[in-house]
Structure 1
Amino acid sequence: MPQELVDGYARRVDYLRLSVTDRCNLRCTYCLPSEGFHFLPHEDILRYEELLRLVAIASRLGISKVRVTGGEPLVRKGILEFLGRLCAFSQIRDVSLTTNGVLLESLVEGLWAAGVRRLNVSLDTLQPAKYEAITGVDAFWKVWRGLSAVLDRGFTPVKINVVAIRGVNDDEIEALAELTRSYPFHVRFIELMPFRLEAYEERYLSADVILQRLRAMGALLPARSENGNGPARYYQFPNAPGKIGLISPMSHHFCPSCNRLRITAEGSLRTCLFSDRDVDLRGPLRCGCSDEEIAALILEAVQKKPQRHHANDAPVAHRKCHSRPMTAIGG
Structure 2
Amino acid sequence: MLIDGHGRTVNYLRISVTERCNFRCQYCMPEKPFSWVPKENLLSFEELFLFVKVAIDEGVNKIRITGGEPLLREDLDKFIKMISDYKPDIDLALTTNAFLLPDAAQRLKDAGLKRLNISLDSLKTDVAAKVAGKDVLSEVLKGIDKALEVGLQVKINMVPLKGINDDEILDVMDYCKAHGMKVRFIEYMENEHADKALKGMHGREILAKVKERHTIKALGREGASPSFNYLLDDGYEFGLIDPHKHDFCESCNRIRLTAEGFLIPCLYFDEAMSIAEHVKKGDVESAAGVLAQVLKDKPKENRWSEEELEDRELSKRAFYETGG
TM over 0.5: yes
Are 2:169 and 1:173 aligned? yes
Equivalent positions of 1:127-146 (< 5 A) are 127-146=124-143
Are 2:13 and 1:16 aligned? yes
**SS of the residue aligned with 1:108?**
helix
Offset of residue 197 of structure 1: 6.1
**SS of the residue aligned with 2:146?**
helix
**1:249 matched residue in structure 2:** 243
Q: State the distance in 1 between where 2:30 and 2:123 align.
A: 23
* Inter-CA distance 39–220: structure 2 relative to 1 (3 Å threshold): same
Moved more, 191-200 or 114-123: 191-200
Q: State the distance in 1 between where 2:34 and 2:313 align.
A: 19
Q: Which amino acid aligns with 2:289?
A: A
**2:284 matched residue in structure 1:** 291
> Given the two structures, how large is their TM-score scaled by the length of structure 2?
0.92
* Inter-CA distance 249–266: structure 2 relative to 1 (3 Å threshold): same
**2:155 matched residue in structure 1:** 159
**SS of the residue aligned with 2:159?**
strand
Offset of residue 327 of structure 1: 0.7
Once the two structures are aligned, what percentage of the paired residues are identical? Answer: 34
Offset of residue 125 of structure 1: 0.7
- Residue among 91, 97, 101 paired with 1:100: 97
Offset of residue 234 of structure 1: 1.6
Q: State the distance in 1 between where 2:11 and 2:171 align.
A: 35
Alpha carbons 2:84, 2:112 under 8 Å: kept: yes
Moved segments of 4+, more than 6 Å = 313-318
* Inter-CA distance 198–292: structure 2 relative to 1 (3 Å threshold): closer
Q: Which runs of 5+ in 2 are unaligned?
A: none
**SS of the residue aligned with 1:188?**
strand
Are 2:26 and 1:25 aligned? no
Q: State the distance in 2 between where 1:200 and 1:228 align.
A: 34
**2:267 matched residue in structure 1:** 273
**SS of the residue aligned with 1:299?**
helix
Alpha carbons 1:59, 1:91 under 8 Å: kept: no
Are 2:234 and 1:229 aligned? no
Are 2:257 and 1:263 aligned? yes
**SS of the residue aligned with 1:189?**
strand
CA deviations 1:251-290 (Å, max 9, x no partner) are: 445111100000011110001000010101112222x362
Offset of residue 5 of structure 1: 1.2
What do you get for the CA RMSD once the two structures are aligned? 2.5
Q: Which runs of 5+ in 1 are unaligned?
A: none
**2:296 matched residue in structure 1:** 303
Alpha carbons 1:80, 1:111 under 8 Å: kept: yes
Q: Which amino acid aligns with 1:266?
A: E
Q: State the distance in 2 between where 1:152 and 1:264 align.
A: 31
Aligned length: 323
**SS of the residue aligned with 1:16?**
strand
Equivalent positions of 1:77-92 (< 5 A) are 77-90=74-87
Alpha carbons 1:65, 1:95 under 8 Å: kept: yes
**SS of the residue aligned with 2:86?**
coil
Offset of residue 152 of structure 1: 2.4
**SS of the residue aligned with 2:116?**
strand
Q: State the distance in 2 between where 1:28 and 1:72 align.
A: 12
Alpha carbons 1:63, 1:92 under 8 Å: kept: no
Q: State the distance in 2 between where 1:326 and 1:49 align.
A: 24
Offset of residue 112 of structure 1: 1.2
Offset of residue 106 of structure 1: 1.3
Q: Which amino acid aligns with 2:229?
A: Y
* Inter-CA distance 139–282: structure 2 relative to 1 (3 Å threshold): same
Are 2:318 and 1:328 aligned? no
**SS of the residue aligned with 2:4?**
coil
Q: State the distance in 1 between where 2:65 and 2:232 align.
A: 30
Equivalent positions of 1:186-197 (< 5 A) are 186-196=182-192
Q: State the distance in 2 between where 1:133 and 1:248 align.
A: 24
CA deviations 1:200-223 (Å, max 9, x no partner) are: 586021111111221221222445
Q: State the distance in 2 between where 1:21 and 1:270 align.
A: 15
Equivalent positions of 1:63-74 (< 5 A) are 63-74=60-71
Alpha carbons 2:41, 2:260 under 8 Å: kept: yes
* Inter-CA distance 33–133: structure 2 relative to 1 (3 Å threshold): closer
